[in-house]
Amino acid sequence: MRLGILSATVILYWAEQRKPDQGTSSYPMRVQLKATTIFVSSQVPSVHSMMSLLQCLHDSLKNSLTPPEERYRIVTRLSGSSASVNCLSFSADGELLASGDNTELIHIYDTHTGKTVHVIENPGESWGQISSITWLPSLNRTSKSLALSFGTGRGLVAIYKRAKNSCKFQEAFRLSPFPSSDIVEMLSYDPRNTLLVVSSQHGEIKLYDLDWTSWTLNIIWTTKLKNTILRSLHFVDEGRQLIVFCLESKEMLCIITEDGKPNVKWSRTLRSPIGSAVLFKGRHLLVDNLMSRFDLYTFPHSSTSQTFPVPMTLECSIIKDAVFAEDGQVVVCGSDHGLAYVFSRSNREKKPLQIMHHGKERDYLQVLDAAMVSDWHMVATGSSGQNGSVVLWEKPVKQLSKTEHDLANAKDKIELLIFVFVIWVSWSYLLALSDVGLHRVSWDVLTDGCEGVGLVALLGALCDGSLFG
């Protein structure tokens, strides 16, 4: 029993020390144990069953103390979009969010207030659905020039610039690079070299130079990839190379942009079809493999370094978007059932850090974006279907005090010591399970709605032997 009291004391002390020391508020210590039932049989337990029990204890220790500051919360459900949302894009500074949908409208929101600041409409109703959006930031930060480009379902590309001393946007240029029967699939912009690349659903790619003075697009080269649908375009190597991702062929192509013609530098085949692909700082590649997971690659290699499982509820696959957030430390993945899954990229755990509930189970989360605004991490999720919607999420950029920083650095060591201590104390009882009849221990009973008490009771009972009768 002394060992049980000791373990409980260590855990309670650890929890107490993790409270913030700034201000008067403190987050509660919460143990979030699922309704897991442990079956103890009269047979000698296998190594697997013992390790499963220990893993449960380890997971409980790790997840029991989760402050609200470490989770995203809904800021607002943005008004305006009433049809399938096809694209979302934060401006470079995160101050604005653009949303395009099937109603041929682009809503531009202020991320601080959540209110619509402008709606770009199609007066002639000739655009078709808004299929892709990209912001065109100027390298001259002092000019405060801001523009966005978008593609439509009828082969149109348009550029709108923000009017001087106004939050409204006005048309600067438009062209039809593709036939009206060919949708603009993707857009990507390189601000260093003012290059805009557009692709069509039928595999055609066109590279333009954007003249900010005359607001014109000058063609540099064009090419067409046969028998494939292009899913993503990304500039790398300071705009000197364009990476193209293909749906069915699983191909990742590198095209040189500065030769005046489309020369393919290399081509690699990934391990799965490419539903969506996003690159972070030219080093990390996240791909929707059109099955029940997202694959992480170390770009430009073609072998996976990590996978993030996302359940599928449909018999057929749908294309799902994903995004890097928090300066690449986490990834947020869409789904076919109204949930977004947040995973850590650094700790290699396959369990999500958080599951974000966007809407109904029949909502398809196919578009996402992320940004950092002031002291907040922000994520936008958009759903497709008859009643599309956009939800804005936020999480504070945590500013640690010196005490919290020291405790955070020691967290892994403390957790390891506690885990080793629990194994040492409980090992003889795990080996003695063969002398016990059939028992069922419900962890919900142990928690009993208390904050932090259940886990302590479990460890105390495990250590003094009362758990096993």
Quote the pLDDT of residue 182: 92
Residue 74 pLDDT exceeds 90: yes
Decide which of 396, 427, 457 is a domain's last residue.
396
Does the pLDDT at position 341 exceed 50?
A: yes
Same domain, 220 and 306: yes
**Quick check: 262 pLDDT over 50?**
yes
Lowest mean pLDDT among 60-64, 242-246, 393-397: 60-64
Side-by-side strand order, sheet with 241-246: 230-236, 241-246, 251-256, 263-269
**In terms of domains, do 451 and 336 share one?**
no
Q: Is residue 52 pLDDT above 80, yes or no?
A: no
Residue 285 scores a pLDDT above 60: yes
| Structural domain total, the chain | 2
Is residue 367 within 8 Å of 404, Cβ to Cβ?
A: no
The confidence band for 385, taking pLDDT boundaries of 50, 70 and 90, is confident
Give the pLDDT confidence of 169-189 residue by residue, as tens digits: 999 999 999 998 899 999 999
Backbone angles phi, psi at 359, to 5 degrees: -165, -140
**Averaged pLDDT, 76-102:** 92
Q: Is 252 helix (H, G, I), strand (E, B) or coil?
A: strand
- Per the model's pLDDT, the better-predicted residue between 410 and 222 turns out to be 222
Mean pLDDT of the chain: 79
Q: Which of 36-45, 248-257, 378-387 has the lowest mean pLDDT?
A: 36-45
My answer on whether 406 and 427 are in the same domain is yes
Count the helix, strand and coil residues of the chain and give each as a percent rounded to the nearest 5.
20, 40, 40
The helix (run of H) or strand (run of E) holding residue 116 is strand 116-120
Same domain, 362 and 422: no
Same structural domain, 101 and 246: yes
Task: Read off the pLDDT of each residue in 117-128 and give the average, rounded to a whole number.
Answer: 88
| Nearest of 236, 297, 293, 291 to residue 269 by alpha carbon | 297
Is residue 116 domain-shared with residue 14, that is, in the same domain? no
Pair 428, 344 in one domain: no
Contact 326, 282 (CB under 8 A): no
Q: Looking at the predicted structure, is the pLDDT value of residue 63 above 50?
A: no
Task: Reply yes or no on whether the pLDDT at 61 is more than 60.
Answer: no
Q: What is the pTM of this model?
A: 0.72
Let me know: does 18 contact 27? Beta carbons within 8 Å. no
Strand partners, 324: 331
Strands 322-325 and 330-333 come out as antiparallel
For the residues of 410-436, what is the DSSP string, one character each?
HHHHHHHHHHHHHHHHHHHHHHGGGGS
**pLDDT > 80? residue 433:** no
C-alpha distances out from residue 321 to 54, 254, 286, 350, 380, Å: 35, 22, 10, 18, 12
Q: Give pLDDT, residue 457.
A: 44
Q: Residue 372: helix, strand or coil by DSSP? A: strand
State the Cα–Cα distance between residues 246 and 228, nearest whole angstrom: 6
Beta bridge partners of 340: 356
DSSP 371: E
| pLDDT at 331 > cutoff 50 | yes
Find, among 138, 153, 181, the residue nearest to 87 by Cα. 153
Give the C-alpha separation, 402 to 21, whole Å: 10
Confidence check: pLDDT of 197 > 70: yes
Measure the CA–CA gap between 103 and 119, rounded to whole angstroms: 12
Six token digits for residue 16: 């107490």
How much is the pLDDT for 149?
A: 97
Question: Which residue carries 């989770």 as its tokens?
Answer: 71
Answer yes or no: do 194 and 221 share one domain.
Answer: yes
Quick one: average pLDDT of 361-369?
90
Flag the least confident range among 20-29, 85-94, 151-160, 345-354: 20-29
Within a 10 A sphere around the Cβ of 108, how many other Cβ atoms? 22
Name the band, by pLDDT with cuts 50, 70 and 90, for residue 122: confident
List the one residue out of 143, 57, 77, 113 whose CA is nearest residue 363. 77
> CB–CB of 96/116 below 8 Å?
no
For residues 157 and 195, state if they share a domain.
yes
Cα–Cα nearest to 81, from 53, 101, 56: 101
Q: How far apart are the C-alpha atoms of 103 and 122, rounded to whole Å?
A: 9
pLDDT band at 430 (very low <50, low <70, confident <90, very high): low
Where a domain ends, among 344, 369, 396?
Answer: 396
Task: Check whether residue 33 and residue 112 sit in a common domain.
Answer: no
Band (67; pLDDT cuts 50, 70, 90): low
- In terms of domains, do 357 and 455 share one? no
Residue where the block lists tokens 């996302």? 310
Mean pLDDT value across residues 66-85: 83
Residue 224 has φ and ψ, to the nearest 5°, of -140, 130
Cis peptide before 300 (omega within 30 of 0): yes
Q: Are residues 443 and 35 in contact, defined by beta-carbon separation less than 8 angstroms?
A: yes
CA distance 58 to 83: 45
- The two tokens of residue 266 are 């290399």
Burial degree of 336 (CB within 10 A; 0-12, 13-18, 19+): buried
CATH code where residue 264 lies: 2.130.10.10
Cα 394–Cα 399–Cα 403 angle in degrees, nearest 5: 140
Residue 462: how many CB atoms within 10 A of its CB? 21
CA distance to 6, 21, 67, 458, per residue, from 29 (Å): 19, 15, 8, 16
Domain range spanning residue 449?
2-18+25-69+402-468
Q: Are strands 230-236 and 241-246 parallel, antiparallel or unpaired?
A: antiparallel
Asked whether residue 236 falls in the same domain as residue 367, the answer is yes
Residue 13 pLDDT = 36
* Residue type (1 letter), 404: E
Highest-pLDDT range among 24-38, 132-146, 183-197: 183-197
Q: Measured between alpha carbons, how far is 209 from 214 in angstroms, rounded to an integer?
A: 12
Quick one: CA dihedral 407, 372, 62, 359, positive or negative? positive
Comparison of pLDDT for 326 and 29, the residue scoring more: 326
Of 313 and 37, the one with more pLDDT: 313
Domain boundary (335, 364, 396) is at 396
Would you say residue 6 has pLDDT above 90? Answer: no
Residue 125 CB neighbour total at 10 angstroms: 8
Question: What are the structure tokens assigned to 25, written together?
Answer: 């508020």
